[in-house]
Chain A
Amino acid sequence: MANDAMSEVEELKRKLGANPDSLIFVPLADAYRKVGMLQEAIDVCTKGLEKHPGYMSARVVLGRVYIEKEMFDEALEELKKVALVDIDNIMVHSMLGNVYIKKKMYPQAVEQFQRVLSLNPEDTETQEKLQEALSAKQSPDSKPAGKKEEPEKEADKTAKKEEPVKPAVPQLDVAKSLKAAELYTKKEEFEKAIEIYKEILDRDPGNIMIEQRLREVYDFQDKKRAKDRAKAAEAAAAPAKKPSADKITVEDIFDVMKKAVEDDRVEEEATEAAPAAKLSETAKIVKPAEPKEEEKTAAEAAKPAPKPNLAKSKELEAVLAKFSEVEGMVGSFYLLRDGTILASVLPKSINAADIGKTIATIVAKTESSVRNMNQGKLNQVVISSESGQLLFTEVMNGVLFMIGNENINVGKMRLMLRDVIEHIKNALK
């Protein structure tokens, strides 16, 4: 058995050695954990996360290793990051609950177990844990030292203990608040976003991800102010063709330019680390500023996106309009690798500009996974959800994306797909 486990470790090490950029470091870390080589597990995960900071599964495994090493603060740090991005991850909420119990932070444990039960009310194990956490929370022993309170009356305690375990109120308000804050940030209404993040922090002080986001919003706000000031000064100086007395120096302009570049980089990093919090630029026909060569992914570098132009966009939209013949088709769009949407036929309820970068990131991640699996080129992806289907496929270094509702006629859509792809290719030639 132990030999099996060690040979698994060796095999995974070999695979990681053959493909150091793959995500196989996570099973390797887990295999190390299983054989008790916890420090090696931490090292592998930490190193892997440097390359793939947005890979939440690695943080889950790292959290698990920290728990086994009884490094509960570190475990909380990792798991909280995951919970913030993947708010419905039952496993993570359960792990967080267990860590809070270890740390005797019972109110937080209760919150996490309630979260698990809101997602899976049938989970009897968590029901028991919640009951235990509630009891511990009410116990005078659970109070932190120095904060002794009047003992509760026995009758009150009994009443509280007998309180039925409710399958939890989902914490959707936080999720909605986060979404709203992101939207405000995108719309550059920073004050409102800051207000929301502060409100969340009031409820959950010390939440490092929210603190990080708040700092980012402050940064964006500062940069925007600096840009606005620079623009205003430039505009004021332009007619006279000489610098105003308010003195926008070459250094100032250089600073603003540097900050603009920095802005793009921060945005890239935010996209990697927390896609949900990403502050994407509104997609537009004008291509965003090119990142530095070394910042481009290998795939992007290998496949430069074609330069969009309005005439082509119109032509493509005419091609995409053909899909309206398919029953259940909600809309479609064609986007470039950088998230720029070249053409779209979408209902008003979907703002193509808001989703371009998200979709580009999703496509890139899927392609990278397929590449790491040595499965050749990605042809097509179909995602089936409760209320509809998404389908995307690569066409001429861009991606054709289709959205259908639950009644979509997939057969007809696929039939038309070939034709539409041909037309897109012709339009882009």
Chain B
Amino acid sequence: MDFKTVLQKIVENVDGAMGAAVIGEDGIAIDQFSTGTGFDVTAAGAEYSTIITSAKKASQSFGLGKTNEVLISTEKATMIMMITSTNYFVTLALSLDGNLGRGRLEMKKAIPELEKLL
């Protein structure tokens, strides 16, 4: 199984999923799968890595320990980012009516597989 297959499985199992990607914390995407509905994974990689860094700083400021997940909802979409045990994170973009709970579940299921590949 390769990255794209795992990511495709996440996207296909979640209603409203627009795309998923594995991204290094340096902002460079490892691989991605997109349904072609407005999810630009390259831009996401660069931009989301700063959000992850900011989130980590915020957690540290309050002594909350390691950051596991960041969820962002905007006017157009919801984005879930889950940090893997290494310096990577997995992101899933959902449309506004996307199934957030299912999205989180599928990502959690996929992370061990992705970690093996990393």
What is A's interface to B at a CB cutoff of 8 Å?
Answer: 11-12, 15, 22-27, 30, 55-57, 60-61, 86, 89-91, 120, 275-276, 330, 350, 355, 358-359, 361-362, 365-366, 369-370, 372-390, 403
Contact = CB atoms under 8 A, between A and B. Distances in A.
B54 interface: yes
Interface in B59-87: 59, 61-77, 79, 85-87
A120 B86 CA distance: 8
Contacts of A365: 50-51, 54
Given A22-B46, A23-B47, A378-B72, A385 B61 contact: no
Contacts of B70: 381-384
A315 to B, nearest CB: 25
A80 to B, nearest CB: 16
Contacts of B77: 375
A359 B61 contact: yes
Contact of A390 (B47, B64, B72, B73): B64
B53 interface: yes
B76 A57 contact: no
In the complex, which of the residues A89, A361, A369, A373 has the most CB atoms of chain B within 10 Å of its own CB atom?
Answer: A373
B58 A383 contact: yes
A90 B87 CA distance: 7
Interface string B16-45: 000000001111110000000000101111
Nearest to A381: B72
Given A22-B46, A370-B74, A378-B72, A385 B26 contact: no
A26 B57 contact: no
B55 interface: yes
A279 to B, nearest CB: 15
23 contacts: A24-B43, A26-B27, A57-B53, A90-B87, A276-B57, A350-B62, A355-B61, A358-B57, A358-B58, A359-B61, A365-B50, A369-B51, A370-B72, A373-B43, A381-B72, A383-B59, A383-B67, A383-B71, A384-B70, A387-B63, A387-B64, A389-B64, A403-B62
